[in-house]
Amino acid sequence: MLATKQLTFEYGPSKRFSFPDVYCANREALLILGRSGTGKTTFLHLLALLLNPKSGSVVIDQTELTKLSVAETAAFRAKHVGIVYQKPHFVSSLSVLDNLLMANYLANKPQDKNRARELADQLGFGDHLEKKTHQLSQGEQQRVSIARAVMNQPDIILADEPTSSLDDENTGLVVELLRNQSEQIGASLIVVTHDQRLKDAFQNRVAL
């Protein structure tokens, strides 16, 4: 479960945000829709406490993230939150496999090669595990990014514009992968996007 209350943030006096309260129950999915520049990435980063709100709270299950120290927040995020970033941010010197295992390392968990291989097969990049990430197509990188986000079986999956650069067919595929993966591990899924094509795939929607 993820719930926010009265979240506000500012980059400076002329760039202030007041976000609507959102609630996403366990195993449910929520779509947050907004035009470019409305603060979608900012909001997603606040949900993961990658940015600190000016005021308000973020609660994941029993934990109020906004009350944790920086180190506690980082540890909590690594274990309980999977993030699909707008741009993937891979470690370019590492293989696809090692980029997946990095998620285990950051969460202080044993490296689970079997899970990485299983996810790679499910998401259709099983033949690319030994390659460097830049040798993969954009769509393949997007799927690696989804696999990395679910490596530690997080309680919450956050996805930032996961389909913006994809054609209709791959958009449908990525939404299905995100939903399947979150259902398999019982996670809540929150997607922020300007992509109106995703509207029909989500019953729960909030506008920014």
Per CB under 6 A, residues contacting ligand ATP are 11, 15, 34, 36-42, 194
Closest distance of CB 16 from ligand ATP, Å: 10
Nearer to ligand ATP, 79 or 194 (CB): 194
Angle 163-168-169 from CA coordinates, rounded to 5°: 100
Closest distance of CB 11 from ligand ATP, Å: 3
Nearer to ligand ATP, 37 or 110 (CB): 37
Closest distance of CB 61 from ligand ATP, Å: 25
Identify the CA nearest to 146 among candidates 105, 103, 111: 103
Nearer to ligand ATP, 3 or 51 (CB): 51
Nearer to ligand ATP, 120 or 192 (CB): 192
Closest distance of CB 181 from ligand ATP, Å: 23
